[in-house]
Chain A
Amino acid sequence: MAKIVVNATHKGGEGKTTNSIILAEYIALVLGLKTLIIDMDPQANFSGRYIKMEYDPSYKGGKIPALHPDYEPLIDKDWDGRSSIANIFYGEEVIPYPTSIPNLDLLPAHSIKLQEAEAVTKNDVVEKVHLQLKRFLELEDVQNTYDMVIIDTPPSKGPLTIAAIKAASHIVIPAQMEQFSIEGIYGMLQLWKQETYCRAANNPITLVGILPNQVRDIKLHKQFLSGLRKGKGLGDYVMPHVIKKRAIYTEILVEDANPKSIFELPVNHVARNEYETACRYIMEKVNHGEKKGVRN
């Protein structure tokens, strides 16, 4: 079964998207595994890194994926040429976009369709949103095509995030070592706990851990980090590696960046080294359960 890693926290600006990008590129470029990335965030930043996102003419500020490279207007009469992960909420077909990175395919966001999917009534939300991503990823086609799935989530605890968590086998919580961020961790742990209650013993949702992100050499960050590490039971879930605040992690996100990926940096580059260690740790945790149980 493909492993499904979700980067989630309902506080914004913690590094969900950056972490999704770097982890996905690590898996595709360094490990060479067939990887599907999914953008559940209506902001569509994750998608924008890999394909051209167009401004939605009917919805100010909203974004829609560019035409699919395989789309042929003369033949594909029943398709408008765009495909996004939001399609699963409308019973429509989804067609992943290839990216410039080998082994890496993308199911992009579609701002308005994702937002509207979230707006279903309370009665329908379980059937129409919460379980849809899980069902999609369980499809034989998806399972046979990909080894790994990385999902980026919106900064909320809403139906889209819940759908991602319901589909996940592993969850990573990136967090800054600051007051609101730690409150955010608490909120995500609640969601994780709730989901563990729904899972069968042979289909667990594993909390890979909290990834301390954008850490600076200041007292506040150090003391919050050591506070978390010392926390009873929590210590095991704080990753042993931290990601420091470095310009390079935001520079690679710029449109014409060079290098475009931190994995294009020399192997011994301090930033590459730092993030690669964290990625390796995540993947060790992800592969750890391999022999133990077969997922449903």
Chain B
Amino acid sequence: MAKKKVFAISNALSNGIEETIQAAHDYSGELRVEVIPLKRIEVDPENPRDLALTYEDANHGIAKSDPQFERKEQEVESLRGIANSIRDQGIINPIVVYKFGEKYRLVAGERRTLASIIAGKTDIQAKILDSKPTELKISLLQWIENVERSDLSLWERLKNLEKIVVAYAEKNNLPNLEISVTELSNLIGCTKPHAANYKAVLDADDELKQFIFSNQIRSLEKAAVIATIKGFDLKQHALDECLAGANLKRLRGIAASASTKISHSKKPAESRGRQTTTVNLGATKNIEVAQLILDSILKNNALSPIAIHFKQVDWDDYRAINNTFKQLMKKLEELHA
């Protein structure tokens, strides 16, 4: 007898269909990435610009009579690299714009937009927002765009970050720059140590900032180490060393010498949550380690009076070992009561 036929849609096809529908649901109305004509993009007049170059300049060339001719020429030069890669590969990340009447106003991606014009493109991929985002959102978006740019100086990054902090503080009615490291790390999506470095440098004195501004100090980590040194002389010393080309390790060494001089207290760092009042001695699965600990303790002559209690331990039984250590703690506490 012939085999009964069963017709089923192949797994690959039905999986593909499911994934497509899921993806459409997950991002509908949120992603809004479209290809838009470059000629319909304009800068937001309310946002400060770093570039002097205008769209007209990029399109038709810079007029010789332009008072900013040289600066603009330099800017075009600096955009050539991106323009070449856009010509070959297109842009990798879409720019961000919001709708303003018939036009689109830039939120992020001015350099990519100008470079696309220079590359001779007529349109560009853009993520489209429905309305103008808040100051905080704009500065955050600019931050995200900028962290991907390697040519951005530490000073430029700090200026951008300062905008974020000011906008955040305004939004939350905080006195200026009063932002915690945790808040900062959440805001810009980086690790806490990294955020701590940024915060330290943001709070740094003007002298240090001056060196960052003049691009004599380029490393965030180095700047952060110097910013956190308390003593004036030591700080000057660290600053001099840094300008002379000391590496991070050396600077940390200088900072460490400061902390041993200044703080002698062994008070544990403050922490949130329920207060910790006991010391947990940890746990191990390795019986040899437990044995080593017990032996080492009992070798202490001062403890010879209690050593007698721990002569016979069943080292094959975890429970018995635990009880032994409990007893040991009890005896030790009695001795040090």
Are B17 and A198 within 8 A (Cβ)? Answer: no
With the chains together, A163 CA to B130 CA distance in Å?
Answer: 22
B114-139 vs A, CB cutoff 8 Å, 1 = contact: the mask equals: 00000001110000101000000000
B5 within 8 A of A: yes
Quick one: which of B1-42 are within 8 Å of A by CB?
A: 5-9, 13-14, 16-18, 20-25, 27-35, 37
The answer to whether residues A233 and B25 also contact, given A123-B122, A127-B123, A201-B30 and a CB cut-off of 8 A, is yes
With the chains together, A221 CA to B137 CA distance in Å?
Answer: 52
Are B13 and A186 within 8 A (Cβ)? Answer: yes
Are A198 and B24 within 8 A (Cβ)? Answer: no
A184-222 vs B, CB cutoff 8 Å, 1 = contact: the mask equals: 011001101100111111101001000000000001100
Residues of B within 8 A of A224 (CB): 7-9
Residues of B within 8 A of A189 (CB): 17, 20-21, 24
Quick one: which of B161-207 are within 8 Å of A by CB?
A: none
Of B9, B16, B29, the contact of A196 (CB 8 Å cutoff): B29
A259 within 8 A of B: no
Are A223 and B6 within 8 A (Cβ)? Answer: yes
Quick one: which of B275-309 are within 8 Å of A by CB?
A: none
A232 within 8 A of B: yes
Are A198 and B32 within 8 A (Cβ)? Answer: yes
Residues of B within 8 A of A267 (CB): none
A265 within 8 A of B: no
**Min C-beta distance of A296 to chain B, whole Å:** 9
| Smallest Cβ-Cβ distance to A199: which chain B residue | B29
Band of interface residues on B = 20 to 34
With the chains together, A200 CA to B121 CA distance in Å?
Answer: 25
| Smallest Cβ-Cβ distance to B122: which chain A residue | A123
Are B24 and A196 within 8 A (Cβ)? Answer: yes
**Min C-beta distance of B20 to chain A, whole Å:** 5
Are A228 and B9 within 8 A (Cβ)? Answer: yes
| Smallest Cβ-Cβ distance to B5: which chain A residue | A219
**Min C-beta distance of A207 to chain B, whole Å:** 8
A231 within 8 A of B: yes
Are A234 and B17 within 8 A (Cβ)? Answer: yes
Are A197 and B27 within 8 A (Cβ)? Answer: yes
Are A190 and B20 within 8 A (Cβ)? Answer: yes
Are B28 and A183 within 8 A (Cβ)? Answer: no
Of A124, A126, A227, the contact of B14 (CB 8 Å cutoff): A227
**Min C-beta distance of B10 to chain A, whole Å:** 9
**Min C-beta distance of B13 to chain A, whole Å:** 6
Residues of A within 8 A of B13 (CB): 182-183, 186
Of B16, B18, B33, B130, the contact of A197 (CB 8 Å cutoff): B33
Residues of A within 8 A of B29 (CB): 196, 199-202, 204
**Min C-beta distance of A178 to chain B, whole Å:** 10
Residues of A within 8 A of B16 (CB): 186
Of A182, A204, A219, A232, the contact of B18 (CB 8 Å cutoff): A232
Residues of A within 8 A of B20 (CB): 186, 189-190, 193
Are A200 and B9 within 8 A (Cβ)? Answer: no
Residues of B within 8 A of A204 (CB): 28-29
The answer to whether residues A223 and B18 also contact, given A127-B37, A196-B28, A201-B29 and a CB cut-off of 8 A, is no
**Shortest Cβ-Cβ A-B pairs, 10 listed:** A201-B29, A193-B24, A197-B31, A196-B28, A233-B21, A223-B7, A227-B9, A189-B20, A220-B7, A198-B34
Chain B interfacial positions (CB closer than 8 Å to A): 5-9, 13-14, 16-18, 20-25, 27-35, 37, 121-123, 128, 130
What are 17 A-B contacts defined by CB distance under 8 Å? A182-B13, A186-B20, A189-B20, A190-B20, A193-B20, A193-B24, A197-B28, A200-B29, A201-B28, A201-B30, A202-B130, A223-B6, A224-B8, A227-B8, A227-B9, A228-B9, A233-B25
Chain A interfacial positions (CB closer than 8 Å to B): 123-124, 126-127, 182-183, 185-186, 189-190, 192-193, 196-202, 204, 207, 219-220, 223-224, 227-228, 231-234, 237
With A126-B123, A127-B37, A233-B21 known, 8 other A-B pairs at CB within 8 A are: A196-B29, A199-B29, A200-B32, A202-B130, A227-B14, A228-B9, A231-B9, A231-B17
